[in-house]
Structure 1
Amino acid sequence: MDNTNPKKALVNTEIGLFLRGLIIGKVLTLIVIGGLLWWLLKPNLLSRSSVNSSANQSSNTGTTSTFQTVADVPTNSFNYGGSTAWASIRQLVDSQIQSDRPELQLRYLDPVNGSPGSSSGIRMLLDGKLDFAQSSRSLTDQEQAIAKERGFTLEQRQVGMDGIAVVVNPSLNVSGLTVEQLQQIYLGQITNWNQIGGPNLPITPLSQRPEDADTVIFPNNSDLKGQAFGSNVQYVYSTTDAVRQLSKTPGGVYYASARSVVFQCSVKALLLGRTSGQLIPPYREPMVSPEQCPRQRNQLNTQAIKNGSYPMLANLFVVIKQNKGREQQIGDAYAKLLLTDQGQKAIQQAGFVGVR
């Protein structure tokens, strides 16, 4: 006999369905509440994720200094001048500076008397005709003394590096010189190329006048400081003038900023060394012959200049008048602009070696 109570079974079934519905309802409620909380918190979570991502990216890339990041750049028009070796910097770098900082206007001035160069630019700065100067050599004791007499001092701030290259007529059968031989040529002690293993051909040394010169081969710290050139030295107005004369003078020789002359097609750059067994090219090897030029051009040997193995270096300086006036303010700002990451990269693009 079946003892099952139909009424009791029905009640149990209803209770089971009720409990199941209750559980499903609670689950759905939790899902809805969870979804609502996620929706409300989503902006904060995304924002935090973005901040963390930006922080990680910033820590990976570091901070790059640009022309825009330099503070205290004066608003005005300023005069500057000096080294002709800086021509590519004025064309490439200074144009970028004035594009990014239009409040700053720079005007290059040539000297009224003499040829443009480091020496004439520093002289014009001392005379109050320039607000700052560009130089391819160190200041002399005499220049510092003149500044002191006039109630201020001069600061030289290095922003780049160059080499001093020696160039000759391409037909000259000489491959290189020592620094001492070069100095003896300009002192008038070596007057024929056959004295240093070359052909029987008189040497015609070309140079800018010392009072206007861009670069020097008798540095301040040498025993030859202040030595007068030999009587056979012929003076030229500029490097462009010298290159033009060298192309027509088989025995000619000239020294200048490596950046200015190594890429020229009409002259040949010589190897230079502290000793005859250690000659270094101012250009990247292999040398590009005049026949290959201008399709190809020699490029500066930046590695030898940077590591100091090239024997004659020319540091690039911004010369700043320390007088607590507008000249000091613009000179300081210009040097800072060139020493930014953007400035150093632009100096390298202009063909020089940076200092950072």
Structure 2
Amino acid sequence: MSQRNETTVLVLAFLIALGIIGGVFWWLTERLNVDLGGVANNQLQSVSHVATFARVQNVPSGLFSYGGSTTWAPIRSEVDPVIQSVWPEFRLRYTNPTTGAPGSATGIRMLLNNQLAFAQSSRPLNDREYQQAQTRGFTLQEIPVAVDAIAIAVHPTLDVTGITVAQLKEIYTGRIANWNQLGGPNLTITPYSRRIEEGGTVEFFAENVLENEAFATNVQFIPTTTQALREVANNLGGIYYASASEVVPQCTVKPLPLGQTLNNLTPPYQVPFVRLSRCPQERNQLNTAAFQSDEYPITRRLFVIVKQNEQIAAQAGEAYANLLLTDQGQELIRQAGFVSIR
């Protein structure tokens, strides 16, 4: 065989090998995108360039019940009326549970029991919920749409500059019981909380702050955040935790700076602090920059929980997440007091 023919054969073999390798790479990439990315990644990619609600595709018509997290209430108030004005045939109805208090866990349970089209959650799904879905013949998918932070509320006159996450844990597990152990007055601490089965915020707090230790016996359980903040406003030694959007703008309680160490405390509000005597004409604003950068130590994501069963309810949940992930949706989320996820 001549040298020219050998060269030609080698070049052809090289090109064929490249084609085979490229085809295998493409196939693997497609498989990995499906298996690892899931709906959440696809949703984020598909709406990353979408500006307004009107440009979102595959929004179904019908009446769709949804429920879940009480943390989501400001988002529902801000976002849902605008969605309804743009997509009047995509009708949304928030549904309370028939028993128990509304919250992330109850919303996910109602979704599993076919009572909702989709759910809103302030915590990620847990293994038990994934397993329950599988036994029912479908899967659940969590789609992150916003960032939130947990803020600590105390009485406005409490003379404490801030606390660490470790000290917060010791308060709620009973190892710190007086504010004088934290540089404050000789005053008994009264910790308030909702019950763990009643909200995603409590579940998140128990797992990430208490590290699954039990609440102390002196913790007083209150049904709602509104009632708990009222108790703190009337109790010099009271303390409570909730979504920053529920605590920071309040006129009757003071949000505490929080940190991993006492030398690095970060307020959940923008400095300078607005004196509560000037509220409600002026209100403290969220420290969104610290939430986005993780400088503030307790942040979390908010999720739309979708049932993946190729039915119209799944389409409704995916459409709702897509709407929230548009530029318009993220701006409305910011107006509701939360942080954009992108």
- TM-score range relative to shorter protein: 0.7 to 0.9
Distance across 1 between alignment mates of 2:157 and 2:209? 34
Q: Is the 8 A contact 1:116 1:238 kept in 2?
A: no
CA distance, structure 1, for counterparts of residue 95 and residue 209 of structure 2? 34
Matched residue type, 1:93: V
Q: 2:121 aligns with which of 135, 142, 167?
A: 135
Could you report, residue by residue, the CA deviation over 1:270-305 in whole angstroms, capped at 9, with x for unpaired residues? 000011111000000111111111111001101101
Residues 236-277 of structure 1: per-residue CA shift (max 9 Å, x gap): 111111111111111111000001110000000000001111
Given candidates 163, 172, 178, the residue that maps to 1:186 is 172
CA–CA distance in structure 2, aligned partners of residues 141 and 226 of structure 1: 15
Within 5 A, what are the aligned runs for 1:8-47?
none
Q: What stretches of structure 1 move > 6 A for 4+ residues in a row? A: none
Which moved further from structure 2: 321-330 or 283-292?
Answer: 321-330
Deviations 1:70-129 (Å, cap 9, x if unpaired)? 111111101111122211211111110011000101011122222222222222222222
Asked whether 1:253 is paired with 2:239, we answer: yes
Other-structure match for 1:57: none
Q: Where does the alignment leave 5 or more consecutive residues of structure 1 unmatched?
A: 1-62
Query: Is 1:240 matched with 2:226?
Result: yes
Distance, in Å, in 1 between the alignment partners of 2:223 and 2:82 is 29
TM-score (norm 2): 0.82
Q: What stretches of structure 2 of length at least 5 have no aligned partner? A: 1-48
Number of the residue aligned with 1:71 = 57
1:348 aligns with 2:327: no
Shift of 1:314: 2.2
The partner residue of 1:311 within 282, 285, 297 is 297
Q: Over the residues paired in the alignment, what is the CA RMSD in angstroms?
A: 1.9
SS at match of 1:85: coil
Distance 1:125 1:225, change over 3 A: farther
Identity of matched residues, % = 53
Between structure 1 and structure 2, the one with the greater Rg is 1
Give yes or no for the alignment of 1:288 onto 2:274: yes
Q: Is the aligned partner of 1:168 residue 2:160?
A: no
Aligned to 2:313: 327
Between the aligned partners of 2:100 and 2:192, the Cα distance in structure 1 is 16
Structure 1 residues 309 and 217: alpha-carbon distance in aligned structure 2, compared to 1, 3 A threshold: farther
User: Residues 221 and 236 (structure 1 numbering): CA distance in 2 closer, same or farther, change over 3 Å?
Assistant: closer
Local SS of the residue matching 2:239:
strand
| TM-score, length basis structure 1 | 0.79
Distance (whole Å) between structure 2 residues aligned to residue 207 and residue 123 of structure 1: 22
Selected match of 2:252 from 241, 253, 266: 266
1:92 maps onto 2:93 in alignment: no
Aligned position for 1:24: none
Q: For the residues of structure 2 that align with 1:173 and 1:349, how far apart are their CA atoms?
A: 31
Q: Which residue of the partner structure matches residue 150 of structure 1?
A: 136
1:181 to partner: Cα distance: 1.0
Secondary structure at the aligned position of 1:147 is classed as helix
Task: Supply the AA of the counterpart residue of 2:177.
Answer: T
Q: Are 2:322 and 1:336 aligned? A: yes
Partners of 2:293 and 2:90 in 1: CA distance: 35
Task: Quote the Cα distance in structure 1 between the aligned partners of 2:138 and 2:203.
Answer: 28
1:114 alignment partner AA: G
Are the aligned partners of 2:248 and 2:284 in contact in 1 as well (CA < 8 Å)? yes
**Partner residue in 1 for 2:261:** 275
2:66 alignment counterpart: 80
Task: Check whether the contact 1:137–1:315 (CA below 8 A) recurs between aligned residues.
Answer: yes
